[in-house]
Chain A
Amino acid sequence: MSTRDGVFVFSENLNLTLEMLSKGRELADKLQKELAAIIIGSGVQEQAANLTKYGADKIYVADHPTLKNFQVDTYFSILNSLVMEHNSEIILIGSTKRGKELAARLAARLKTGLIPDAFKLEISSDGELVATRTVYGGNGIAVEKCRTKPKIITVPPRAFERPSPAEKKAEIASVDVKPEAPKLEIVEIKPIEAAKVRIEEATVIVSGGRGIEKKEDFKMLEELAGLLGGFVGNTRPLAEDRKWFIEWVGLSGKKVKPNLYIACGISGMIQHIAGIRDSKVIVAINKDPEAPIFEAADYIVVGDLYQIVPALIEALKNISKR
C-alpha cells in the first residue's frame, strides 16, 4: 500500500492549510508517505497554484461554481470520495466550525475515530500518531491515539508554524466534481465584518472582562493596546451576556498565543485561562486579590483597572517621549 497518499490536509482557511502542511510534511516524512492538500471551492485554481511550494506532494483541486459556499454536505462528499479512492491514513482538517462538522461526519461515514483540536501531533517510536488536546474545560491535557483508520484529526489555528517555501513543487490534480446534493437550502449569508487582524495572530493583546463597566470604556483598552502595538480582546460574558462583541478569547472562542496578554478586570474562568495559556507573558489587573486569573499570571496587579490602565497609558507615553 505504499502508493497511497498517506496524509491529507484540508481547510477552507488558507493560513490553517499552510500550518497543517508544515506539520503534515513532518508526519508524512516520518511515515514515508505522501502529503496531499485538498482545495475545494469556486475559482480556486490560483489558490492551489500558490500552494504548490509549501511542502505537499500533491494538490487535489475541486473547482466548481456549485462549490462557492462551504456547505458541509457537498464538501464532505468530495473529501469522502478522495479519501476512499486514495486510502489515506491521516486526515488533518482545520478546526473551524464548518471543519469540525465536516470532520465528525466524515469520521462517522468512514466508521473511524476523530481527535479534535490537537495542538501537538507526533509519531511515536512505534510509528503511531499521538495527539495532544485540551479536555475537561481546560483542566486537563489528554494524550490520545486513534485505533482505527483513517485517523482524522482537527487542528486549531496557530498550533503549528507555517512552512517556508520549498524548491520542490506539488503536482496539481483536478478532481471530477460529483458532489452530493446539499440537504440544506441556504436562505441568507450575512458576513461578519472581519477584524483587521485576526486576534489569534496578534503579538500583544489587551483584554477586558466583567470588570469593564461600559462598552465605551474599551476605548481606554484600545489606547493601551495601540501604544503596545497590539489588539483588544474580551471574555465570553461580554459577548454573550452583554452582547458587546460577537467573539471572545477562551477555549470556546479564540485560543490566542501573544507575547504579552494584559487581562483587565478578568476574573479568570478556567475556560478563559485555557484560551490564553500559550501566552508568553501574562499581566493581570483585578480589584479582587482572590481572582483566579492571578494564579495564571506572571505579573499581578491588585487594583482598580480604572486607575491602573490610565496610569499605564501615561507611563508608556512618557517612555516614548524620552
Chain B
Amino acid sequence: MPTIIVCLKYAVDVTQIKVELATRKLIITSVPRKISDFDKNALEEAVKIKEKFGGEVIALTLTTEDASSALREALAIGADKAFLIKDPLLKDGDAFITASILAKAIKKINKFDLIICGEASIDSYSAQVGPRLGEILGLPVISYVRKLSLENNVVVAERGLEDCSETVRAQLPVLITVTKEINVPRVPTLMDVIKASKKQIVTWSLSDLGVPAEEVRAAIEVLDVSAPRVERKKVKLEGENAKEVAEKVVKALIQEGLLKL
C-alpha cells in the first residue's frame, strides 16, 4: 500500500492578474491564489492510485501565505493528511529554494513510495521543482507523464515528448511529474468537504525543519517584471458581405508586403 506525497504549489491565479497602466507593472500581491492546475492532476492521480491499491496520500505545500483553504480542498479531493510549510522567509523563494525545502520536509515526513508533482506551475512555468526534488532525494525521475500504472512496486509511465511517446519502467520509490492529459481532476462534493474538515493539517516553519535563515537565499534575482507591450494596429475590416471583407483582408496583406503578387 503506497504512501504518495503530492507537492502542490499555491500559485498566483494568472487569469486574475491586473496591470498598473502607468508603470506597466503587474499587480500580483492582491491576486487570489489557488492550487496550480497541473498539481491538481498530480493530486487526482495520487487519489486514483489510493482508490485502487489503498495506502495514503499526503499533500505538501510551501508558501508565505495562509494556504489552508487550498490544503482543505486537497483534503476534500482525497488527500489524507496535509503539511503546510509556512514562513515569511520564503518570500523570494525560487525553484532552488523550493526544491531544497521540500526535500527537507519530505525527509522529515520520512515515509513515501511515490512523489507526484505537476509538470510546471501556472505562474512561473519553469518545470524545475519536480526534477530538482528528485535529484536531491536521489530518486528516479520520470517527467511529463501522461499515463501511469503501478504494479508490484514498479511504475510504468508513458511520457509525452516532442518527437515520441516514451514508456519507461522504474522500481519505487520514484518521483514523477504529470501533464494535464493524464486525468480530469475531480470536483469534491459537499460530503467530501465536510469529511475533510476532520483531517489534519500540520504546519511547519523553516526552523521546524532546521533550516537557518541564511540558507534561504534564492539563486535567481528578479530584476523586473512588467506587462508585455502589445503594439498591434487593431484595424477593423468590415464590409457588406464576406466577399467584401475578404477583399479588404487581401488588400491589407498586400500593403503589409505579405503577399507575393
Pairs A–B under 8 Å by Cβ, sample size 17: A104-B127, A114-B128, A115-B220, A135-B225, A139-B228, A146-B221, A184-B140, A185-B168, A185-B170, A192-B163, A192-B165, A229-B260, A283-B253, A297-B232, A299-B252, A302-B238, A308-B242
CB atoms of A116 and B134 under 8 A apart: no
Give the number of residues in A that approach B within 8 Å (Cβ atoms): 82
A282-302 interface mask toward B, CB cutoff 8 Å, 1 = contact, 0 = none? Answer: 110000000000111111111
Q: Chain A interface (Cβ within 8 Å of chain B)? A: 72-73, 96-98, 100-101, 103-105, 107-109, 111-117, 130, 134-148, 183-192, 194, 204, 228-229, 240, 251-252, 259-260, 270, 274, 277, 280-283, 294-304, 307-308, 310-312, 314-316, 319
| A116 nearest in chain B by CB position | B126
CB atoms of B232 and A296 under 8 A apart: yes
Cross-interface CB contact of B242 among A72, A100, A190, A307, cutoff 8 Å: A307
CB atoms of A138 and B228 under 8 A apart: yes
Q: Tell me, rounded to whole Å, the shortest Cβ–Cβ distance linking A142 to chain B.
A: 5
CB atoms of B123 and A135 under 8 A apart: yes
CB atoms of B249 and A187 under 8 A apart: no
B258 part of interface (Cβ distance < 8 Å): yes
B89 part of interface (Cβ distance < 8 Å): no
Residues in chain A near residue B256, CB distance under 8 A: 260, 280-281, 298
CB atoms of B230 and A270 under 8 A apart: no
B239-261 interface mask toward A, CB cutoff 8 Å, 1 = contact, 0 = none? Answer: 00111011101101100101111
Cross-interface CB contact of A184 among B14, B170, B247, B261, cutoff 8 Å: B170
CB atoms of B162 and A184 under 8 A apart: no
| A112 nearest in chain B by CB position | B219
CB atoms of B233 and A143 under 8 A apart: no
Q: Contacts A187-B156, A192-B164 known; list 13 others, CB within 8 Å.
A: A97-B159, A108-B132, A114-B220, A137-B122, A141-B225, A141-B226, A144-B222, A184-B140, A260-B258, A298-B256, A311-B241, A312-B249, A315-B250
Q: CA A122 – CA B215 in complex, angstroms?
A: 28
Q: Would A186 and B168 be within 8 Å (CB), given that A116-B126, A135-B225, A300-B236 are in contact? A: yes
Q: Tell me, rounded to whole Å, the shortest Cβ–Cβ distance linking A104 to chain B.
A: 4
B206-241 interface mask toward A, CB cutoff 8 Å, 1 = contact, 0 = none? Answer: 000000000001111111111110101111111001
Q: CA A138 – CA B12 in complex, angstroms?
A: 13
CB atoms of B234 and A297 under 8 A apart: yes
CB atoms of B232 and A298 under 8 A apart: yes
B169 part of interface (Cβ distance < 8 Å): yes
CB atoms of B127 and A270 under 8 A apart: no
CB atoms of B243 and A314 under 8 A apart: yes
Q: Tell me, rounded to whole Å, the shortest Cβ–Cβ distance linking A273 to chain B.
A: 8
Q: CA A229 – CA B261 in complex, angstroms?
A: 13
Residues in chain B near residue A304, CB distance under 8 A: 242
Q: CA A66 – CA B89 in complex, angstroms?
A: 45
Residues in chain A near residue B181, CB distance under 8 A: 240
State which residues 93-152 of B face A: CB under 8 Å.
94-96, 99, 120, 122-136, 139-144
Residues in chain B near residue A295, CB distance under 8 A: 230, 232, 234
B180 part of interface (Cβ distance < 8 Å): yes
Residues in chain B near residue A142, CB distance under 8 A: 222, 224-225
State which residues 1-48 of B face A: CB under 8 Å.
12, 14-15, 17, 19, 26, 28
